[in-house]
Every structure is written in structure tokens, then in C-alpha cells.
Structure 1
Amino acid sequence: MWTLRGCLVLALAGCVAGVGVSTTPAGPVLVEPPAGVVTFTNTSGVVLNCLAKGDPPPQIAWFHLNHSPVTNVPGVREVLGNGSLVIWPFSGTEYRQDVHAAVYQCRASNPTGVVLAPPTTLRAVVVQEFEVRVYDEYVISGNTAVLRCVVPSFVRDLVTVTAWVRDHAYHIYPSAHGDGKYQALLDGRLLVHKVEAADSYATYRCRVLHTLTATTAASNTARIIVHDPRERQIPRMVTKSTTLQISDTKPLVLPCVAHAHPPPEYRWWQVRGDEKLPLMTSSNSMGVPIGGGGGDGGGAQGWGRGGVVVLDPTRLELVDESTTLVCQASNEAGRTTMEVRIERSAKVTAHLSPRVLVVDAGAVGTLRCQVPGSHPHSISWYKDGHVLTPGGRIAITDGGSTLEVRGVGRGDSGMYQCFVRGSKETVQDASELRLGEATCTAHTLRISSEGIKGGPDKGRTRESFLYVIRVNCLTKCVKLFPDV
């Protein structure tokens, strides 16, 4: 039989538990999740770390996308005691797609709940020799030559052009503006402006760096072959229409090169709806500032030589995070154009609030996932590692950014996450939902004096006493004592 003293102790414990709720999640929170794509060589292997904090410290486990646990493969793959996932070095003949090109997901868990890291795709590169080449370029006198450093496709996105070398001695390094005659672009191309017959005697080669192995390589040598046509030639665009990403901090160099006789003049416009706002007007040999006062330049600022324009991302106005620029090359024989679509390359971030949500039993819990910027994205919700879909007590509104849990009960406490998927990456944030106070219905407990062990009324008459206890607790309300 429960005693009155025991009843009061339990009631007080429930009330005290609701005092001074921490704003720091006790559940697991990812401190440093692994990157979305991890590229490594077969000679180095790779270690994937998944750092998380919580109280108590969370356990780390790794899973495949089908939710099956990642198992150890002796000498190939191993999950260490500290939670790190190791892919050991391997030879080219030991490559396994299910290991070295697989998608893994880290899971952190403790008694409060579970959180998932965004999936990590491994990309193992088997080290092999490669050759880079440069080809002769035929150019009309007075035009701009475009030399390209041609890298094999299997290693192209792992190789950076570090310099061009003229006549085995003069080095030309990538820059936004060049020196007037030569400009090595950040994408690896070399522009030689206003070529003349003397340029035919120089040789050019490119030097590259493998970003994973730190090895360097040099191409063969090539020449610019200059010729003078006798008849007029309509401009022919050498650079092509494309889509480029612009960061929030780095300038963007846009080359517009056409070959024609006589040499063409270039104009740039920014397209805004039905309007075309001029960015730059120049002869093929003049550098002209663009939109320096925030007028016709639409907030863009840069300098051009020939058809090259440099955009300052802090001054360029983008509509819906993108814009279209048009370059026109023209001479007395005709004209041609190319278009460049510029997209803002902003890092996707997510912030889930509040960090700790305390909800009374039966009430509504609301979490909001804030995604700065207007770039395209999608949002999905998880609770303790399981996806949430709208329906029943779960509502997802405001384009996916708001989650409501209605009629909150004990089973709803735990860790909630919003995953934000952008065009190139996926990020997440997590919050903890805790069950708050719930006022229990008063229970009428009729306890005889004999049932109050050690109480002040022990030994008195069998008169019944009526005790009414109203209990506030953090757990579900229960009837602690039966009527007697």
C-alpha cells in the first residue's frame, strides 16, 4: 500500500522536474558532419569523422542509404571505436564500387534521441599518369587568341592550371585583369590580345597541378599562327554561351572573344525583363570601367580589355538569384552575340528554432526551419532519424519550413531535424522537443489512518481522512493511488 508520505514525495519530484529547463539540447547535435562529397586517391585512403555532442555523449554509427549498418571488411573498410569510418588504401585492381563509390550516412544517438548527418558520397580516384596538351591557334591579325590547356576527362576536375609559360621563360599567372597583352583566366585559358605577326614566333605551354596528389605536369608547346585576310569577315564567336556561378566575394571574369576582319568591337548588356542595360562599351583594345556609379551598369563594376569583363559580385544586382548578360561583337561586316547566365553561388544554410522546445502534454509544438536567401531548395523533416510526412497530428506548412506536432504526448519527445537540399549540397539542423508540465486531474484518495505508516495520526480512531492531491509532472498523468 502506498503511504501518504510516498505520495507527497512523488508529487514533489514531478513538480521540481519542471523547474529551470535548459536551453541546450541533451540530445545529440552534429558539431562537424562529414562533407557531402569526399574525393580521395587509392594510395591515400580516407577517414570520415562525424563529430557530435550531447548529454550523455552520443554513440556514432554508420549506415547505407537502405538503412543497413555499415560492416567491417578486413583490410578494406573499418568502423573504429571512436566512430570514425576508415577506407584503407588499395591497389587499382582492388577497387570496389560498393565500398569506394558508395554513399554513407552517419547517425548519432543517445537516450534522448537520434540525428542523422546528410549523406556522404565517396569518390575514389585511382592514381594514373595523364598528359596535358595545347594546340596551335589560328588567329586573324588584331584579334584575341584563345589558347586552351586540354586535360583528359578522367582527371579534368582534379587538375588546376597554375601558369602559362611563354618561350620557356616568361610565366603568366591566372589573374582577374592580366597585364594588357596576356591574361591567364582562372578557368585555365590564356588570352593573347591584339595579336600581330611577331606573336607567331613565340611558343606557349601550360603547367598544371593535381589537387589530390600535388604532382605537377607540363604540356607540349604550341604557337599562335597569325594571318591577314584580304576580304572583310563577319564576326565569328570563339567563346560560347554558358551558365556560370558567381560567389559573394570573388570577382567573375567573363571573356567574350570573336574573330573578324576588321577586328570587332564589343558591347555587354544586362537583361532585365524586356530591358537591356548597357554594362560596357569599348573598342577591342581599350579597358573601360563598368557601372562605377551604380547607374547604367546596374550595380556591376569591372574592367574590360577586348571583350573581357570583370564583375564585382558585391555590386551586381541579381533578380531571383540569377541574371543574363549578353555580349555583342560587331564590325562593318556584321555582328554576333553570346549569352552568359549568371547564378548566385551562395552556400545553403539552415537554422531550426527553437533549439529546445518544451511543450505541455496535449498542446501544439511548432518548429521553424529558416533558410536565408531565395535560392531554390527543398525541406524535409525527420524525428529521431525517421522521415516525417504530413497527416494526422503532423502538419508541414509554409512551403515546408514549419512543422507542427499537435496533441503532443510522451512519444513525441526526442530530436527533430530539418534537411535543406540545394542544387549542390544538403545541410541540416536539429532541435529537441521535451514534454512540459501537464496538470493532472485531482484524485480523491480516501486513506485510513492505518494506512499512514508513521504518520501523526497513527493509533487514533479509524476515522477516514480525505486527501486531495493535485500533481504537476513532466511525465504522463497517472492515478498514483487507488481509493481505499
Structure 2
Amino acid sequence: MGNTAVMRCHIPAFVRDYLTITAWIEEPTGRVVQPTGTIVGNQSSRYLMLQSGELYIRNVDSTFNHRTYKCRARNRLTGETFTSVVRQNFVIEVYDEFPVMGNTAVMRCHIPAFVRDYLTITAWIEEPTGRVVQPTGTIVGNQSSRYLMLQSGELYIRNVDSTFNHRTYKCRARNRLTGETFTSGSSGKLIVTESHSFVSPRITESKYQVNSIKGETVALPCLAQGWPLPKYKWFKKDGVERISLAANDRVDQMDGILVIRDVSPSDSGIYQCIVNNTIAEEKVETELTVRIPLSIQLLPERQSVDVGKAALFNCSVSGHPINTIIWERNHRRLKSGFNADIRFIAKDLIHIDAVNKEHRGMYQCFASNDFESVQAYAELQLGDDPPEFREVFPQQTLDPGPSLSLKCIAGGTPLPQITWQLDDSPIPESLRVRFGDYVTKDGLVISYVNISEVRVEDGGGYACKADNGVASIEHFAKINVLGPPVVRPMRNITVVASEPLIVRCPVGGYPLESITWERAGHHLPYNHRQKVHDNGTLEVYHIERATDEGLYTCVAKNKKGQTAQSTVYVRVHIKPVIEAFAFPTSLREGQRSSILCTVSSGDMPITLQWFKDNVPISQHKGVRVNEVVDYSSTLLFESLTLDHKGNYTCIATNTAGTVSHTTSMVIH
């Protein structure tokens, strides 16, 4: 109870390669679980069907005791669908037993090996008395301590005499999978013999090992045949010492059967039974193992971790004993020391120092002992993963005429969007220029630009940019097309004062001797803030409206003296500048007060806003906003209260940007 149950569809080997498990059907609910993990008609995260066909049912409880499951399979060759159960006939037998009068007889139910794991002995029927003995040791219809049926199915009949010679015994079994009940095909008879001479005790019934679960009642058998009737004594071994067991509220002895009620792991150990009569003595040892059912939980059950960040999984196992804990990822074994990127902090704790794409998937933790195995699973999903190029186009030089295809492949989480530019400008689509992209099954975005009949004006600096909201990356490479210089038209540029201006000249043609810039008939650079790079890129640092706004011309020239040029207009915008302001330091409750926010410079129009403690100020609570002109705003306080204290911010915005100034009001 509380663990995860795993249902498997067992397919004969000769057709296993051709069948695919497509669904599981749960009865009587009618629930159908498919490999996606979704449940047709009733959604629940309690059920999960893996692509390999196993059905996982989490956190099972007593309500599942009456549910049955069938798997549905499809033949990949013929398309046929199968939902069936294969039955195999079998017979249960009970053989005759020959106890010595006065001793204990043991009747056994012999079940074929191929169904032994699925059948439970539920009762014994004695004829002609009609007596029914069940595992509790009680006898339906006629109570008697002479009969005892163990949980393992054996029937013990104590102190047999000649009246038992005419009695026969059948066992009844139930199939735990189908619920069907079976009765043995044959009856076993008791043939009680008398001993006319002394017989040394001979132990005929004992168990080398008995396994039990905490809280159960366990019976350790030690039965012998002999004359005079053997006497029994039980001990528990403690190292080299033996501790005699006396009857109490938990421990009792019925002839040679030691009964221990409400067992716990502390009862585990070696028990010794000594049998003797006046002739001889014999002993036997039984190892009792009391376990607590294993329970397992893998936490967290689902986590999303960004690439490069750490992840931790804790496999919490309870129960006794816990012999092994095994880890798997996507059905592959994880071993300490063999997976350098995964550290085993403890056998139940794994740590991933830096998560990458290989780490995502399902993690399973298996705990087992000699009696059972339990498992739990958890999922590691990738969180934000910056884009990464897997393949990019190279720089190349070609003649006009042939077609050109440029390709960029990138991955990331979420999937990146790839855009293309030519010399910092979007590439227009036309009859000759086509774009395309698609996503592969591996989660990679493939984007390409195809250009047919390449022309000289198609040459320049091409860039593909991958952006997924987490980060942005860019690949840039020159495509040189042989021919005379060509400078494509440039769009006007707007730049904010004090910031740098960077303009790449959109030039084609190859080879070129020089790429230069001019302004107002002067070659650049002509001051320390200007720089022209060999590739034709112009940089102007700390740009100013008065000296830098205007027309700029890029001129490209080859060794033949052929030239081409294009002009761009640079417009400089100026951000607002707020004059510093502050509240007086001697403000008191009940006073009037005001504060003025003035923008001393910056392009118009300007928008002004007031905030108190990062919340917009509304016209209430004794505060008014007064705007006399577009570049000035005043806060008016009619009567100061303690509610007015806090941080006040004036925000000024125009087309060039946004600036703010904050001051604190303290009221005494």
C-alpha cells in the first residue's frame, strides 16, 4: 500500500518481436491507459504507461484489490489487435501420509510449479466430517485446537489416532490473478500406524527459513515421529548462547510448533528446536526473518532545472531489510564512479552539478531485499537553456550567377527563433530570395536563406541571430561576390545623445581597395571620437547633436578606380534630464508641503509621472499633482500625515528614453 505497482504484459517469445503494447484496460472501471500517459475518459496522473509497455500505478491502496488489468497488443505486420488471457490446465494433488499414532500429521497441497506463484491455499476439507480448516487455525463448524493450518498452506493434525484412518483431505486454492477457486483433484488419506517398539525421534517437518512481515503471527514447525512420544523445547540463539523461550502473551508452543504473534524485526534470528524421548535426541534450526514492507518515494517527482544549474534527487526508502538501492536514467543503469557528471552523495541521494541536455528524462530508483522490490520514478525537465549553434555557414567567395544557400542550426529551451540580416538590415524576401525553417525530432531549429542567381549586390556581411527569450547569439560571415563596388541604400538612423553610433557600410563587390566615410565633404575620422574600421564600419563615441547630427556618406572603391556610394542621415535624440530635488528634513504632521520635478533639458514632448514606494500616485489622501507646463510637475500636500512618509519618484519619458529621480519624505 502506498507504493507504485508495475503491470507487465507477458508475450510469448516467438511473437514478441512483432507485437506492440498499445493500451491497458482496467476493470471494472473501464479505464484505458495509453502510452502517452493520458487516460481516455478519466484523466489522472496516478497512471503512466511507458513506451516499453509497462503500466505504472502510483500510490496504490485497498480500493485496487478488486481491479483487474488486461493489456492490448497490436501485430505490426498484420495490424491485428489482441486482448486475451492464455489459460493452461493443471491439477492439484494431495498425497497419503503415514504418521505414528499420537504424533502430529502434516498434509500438503502439491501445486504445479508454473502456477505456484499465483495460487494461495485457502482451506482444507476433511471428509466425511465436512470439517473446513482455514489459515486462522479456526475450524468452521467445529472448533478444535487439534487442527492448525499455517499461512503457507500446510495442515497440521495433532495427536492422531486410529479414528483418522477413515478420513480423507482435500485442499482448496484461489488464483490471485483471476479470483478462481480450485479444489485438489485427489484426496489424501491418513494411515495411522502403531509402534510396538521404541523409536528414536525423527524430525519430519521443519523449515530452514521462515519469512514473515511485521505484525503477523508466525508458526515455526518442528514435528517428529517417534515412540515414546517426543517432547519439544525451543530456544533462540544469541551468538554462542541459547535463550530458552517461555510462553507469554506473544509466544506460545503447540507440541513442536512455536507460535509468535505480532512479530517485529527484533524477533529475527536463529531458533533451535530440540526433540527428545527416552531413546534419543535430535535438533534442528530455523532462521526467522521479519521484514517491514518496503516503501519508496523519489523526490522531487518532477523538477525543471535550467542548463548549467544543479539538480538533486532523493530516494526515500523505508522498511526492513533494505539490501540494495539501484538508480537508472531512461532505463540505463547509473553507477557511482561511472557517471562523472552525476555524484552519488549517498546510496539514496544523487547530485547533478551542472545539468545539460543529456540529463533530462525519467529517473528511477529501485530498492530491494530478498523478498520484494519496489521502485519510484521522477522526471527531470530542462528549464531555460540559452540558444546554441550546432551548425553555421562559412565565409565564401563566388562568381555571380550560381545559387547560394546559407544555413544555421540552433537548439535551446524554449526553442529559439532565428532571424537573418545583411549588414545589420533585414533581408527582404523576393522571387530570388527565399527563407525557410523547421524543427527536427531532436528539438533543433534549422533555418536557411536560399538565393538564386547570385548578383554582386547580394554580397556583404550576413548574420543569423538565434533568440529564445533566455539569451541571444549571432553568427556573422562575409559572402564575397566578384564584381565592381556596390553600396546598398541605407535607412536613416536615430541615436541617443552620449551613446555610441555604429554603422556598417552595406557594400558589395569584390575585391575592394578601400571603404571610407565622409561628412560634409570631410573624410572621417577628423576627431578623437570617430573611427573607421577596415571592413567599412563607422563608430562615433559619445555622440552629440550639435556636432554629429547630419548626413554621412560611405564610399567603396576597387583597384580599377570604380567607386560606389550611399548616404545615411543620423538624427540625435536627447534624453530628459531631471533637476535634483529633495524634501525638507524638518517636516511634521499637519504641515503643508510641496516638491517640484523639473526637466531642464531633453527633446519634447515629455511625459511626467509620480510614484510613491513604486506605486503610481492617485489624486487622493491629501496629495495633488499640479502640472503647469509640459516639463514640470509639482506634488502638493495639503496636510501631512504619517501615511505620506516614504520614497517619492519622478519619472520623465520622451522618444529618447526614460529617466527618474527619487527622494525620501521623513515626517517627525
TM-score range relative to shorter protein: 0.5 to 0.7
Q: Partner letter of residue 147 of structure 1?
A: M
Cα displacement (A) at 1:239 = 0.8
Alignment CA distance shift 1:387-1:154 (3 Å): closer
Q: Residue by residue, what CA displacement relative to the aligned partner does 1:55-94 show, whole Å, maximum 9, x if unpaired? A: 99899553279xxxx972179997xxxxxxx85226xxxx
Q: Distance in 1 between matches of 2:265 and 2:322?
A: 20
SS of 2:229 mapped into structure 1: coil
Q: Partner letter of residue 239 of structure 2?
A: G
Counterpart position of 1:450: 494
- Preserved contact between residue 176 and residue 310 of structure 1 (Cα < 8 Å): no
- Preserved contact between residue 109 and residue 153 of structure 2 (Cα < 8 Å): yes
Q: Distance in 2 between matches of 1:153 and 1:391?
A: 41
- Preserved contact between residue 172 and residue 182 of structure 1 (Cα < 8 Å): no
Cα displacement (A) at 1:177 = 4.1
| Gap regions ≥5 residues in structure 2 | 13-22, 27-32, 55-71, 139-143, 387-469, 472-491, 497-543, 550-570, 576-668
Cα displacement (A) at 1:39 = 11
Counterpart position of 2:342: 394
Cα displacement (A) at 1:269 = 1.8
Counterpart position of 1:366: 312
Q: Distance in 2 between matches of 1:128 and 1:221?
A: 19
SS of 1:72 mapped into structure 2: strand
Alignment CA distance shift 1:62-1:164 (3 Å): same
- Preserved contact between residue 108 and residue 154 of structure 2 (Cα < 8 Å): yes
Cα displacement (A) at 1:129 = 4.5
Counterpart position of 2:377: 429
Q: Partner letter of residue 110 of structure 2?
A: V
Counterpart position of 2:6: 34
2:451 is the alignment partner of 1:407: no
- Preserved contact between residue 122 and residue 135 of structure 2 (Cα < 8 Å): no
Alignment CA distance shift 1:149-1:357 (3 Å): closer
Q: Distance in 1 between matches of 2:295 and 2:9?
A: 17
Counterpart position of 1:169: 129
Counterpart position of 1:93: none
2:206 is the alignment partner of 1:240: yes
Q: Distance in 1 between matches of 2:264 and 2:136?
A: 16
Q: Distance in 2 between matches of 1:337 and 1:383?
A: 50
- Preserved contact between residue 143 and residue 263 of structure 1 (Cα < 8 Å): yes
Alignment CA distance shift 1:223-1:183 (3 Å): same
SS of 1:266 mapped into structure 2: strand
Counterpart position of 1:302: 251
2:120 is the alignment partner of 1:148: no
CA RMSD of aligned residues (A): 4.5
Q: Partner letter of residue 344 of structure 1?
A: V
Q: Distance in 2 between matches of 1:425 and 1:77?
A: 36
Q: Distance in 1 between matches of 2:94 and 2:254?
A: 27
Q: Partner letter of residue 397 of structure 1?
A: I
Aligned ranges for residues 281-430 of structure 1 at < 5 Å?
289-290=247-248, 292=249, 301-315=250-264, 317-318=266-267, 322-355=268-301, 362-384=308-330, 386-389=332-335, 390-398=338-346, 400-409=347-356, 412=359, 415-423=362-370, 424-430=372-378
Counterpart position of 1:116: none
Alignment CA distance shift 1:50-1:265 (3 Å): farther
- Preserved contact between residue 269 and residue 277 of structure 1 (Cα < 8 Å): yes
Q: Partner letter of residue 6 of structure 2?
A: P
Counterpart position of 1:284: none
- Preserved contact between residue 213 and residue 290 of structure 2 (Cα < 8 Å): yes
Q: Partner letter of residue 126 of structure 1?
A: R
- Preserved contact between residue 214 and residue 264 of structure 2 (Cα < 8 Å): no
SS of 1:250 mapped into structure 2: coil
Q: TM-score, normalised by structure 2?
A: 0.45
Counterpart position of 1:271: 237
Alignment CA distance shift 1:421-1:62 (3 Å): farther
Alignment CA distance shift 1:62-1:360 (3 Å): closer
- Higher strand proportion: 2
Cα displacement (A) at 1:343 = 2.1
Q: Distance in 1 between matches of 2:219 and 2:24?
A: 35
Higher Rg: 2
Q: Residue by residue, what CA displacement relative to the aligned partner does 1:173-228 show, whole Å, maximum 9, x if unpaired? A: 22344522122333232222112233334333334444436143244344333333
Q: Partner letter of residue 494 of structure 2?
A: E
Alignment CA distance shift 1:339-1:191 (3 Å): same
- Preserved contact between residue 416 and residue 433 of structure 1 (Cα < 8 Å): no
Q: Residue by residue, what CA displacement relative to the aligned partner does 1:366-392 show, whole Å, maximum 9, x if unpaired? A: 322122235244333344555444433
Counterpart position of 1:187: 152
- Preserved contact between residue 100 and residue 193 of structure 2 (Cα < 8 Å): yes
SS of 1:226 mapped into structure 2: coil
Cα displacement (A) at 1:341 = 1.7
Q: Partner letter of residue 203 of structure 1?
A: T
| Gap regions ≥5 residues in structure 1 | 1-29, 79-85, 91-124, 281-288, 293-300, 442-447, 453-458, 467-484
- Preserved contact between residue 265 and residue 289 of structure 2 (Cα < 8 Å): no
- Preserved contact between residue 258 and residue 264 of structure 1 (Cα < 8 Å): yes
Select 1:134's aligned residue among 92, 95, 107: 95
SS of 2:344 mapped into structure 1: strand
- Preserved contact between residue 246 and residue 313 of structure 1 (Cα < 8 Å): no
Counterpart position of 2:215: 249
Higher relative contact order (CA 8 A, sep 6+): 1
Q: Distance in 2 between matches of 1:172 and 1:130?
A: 21
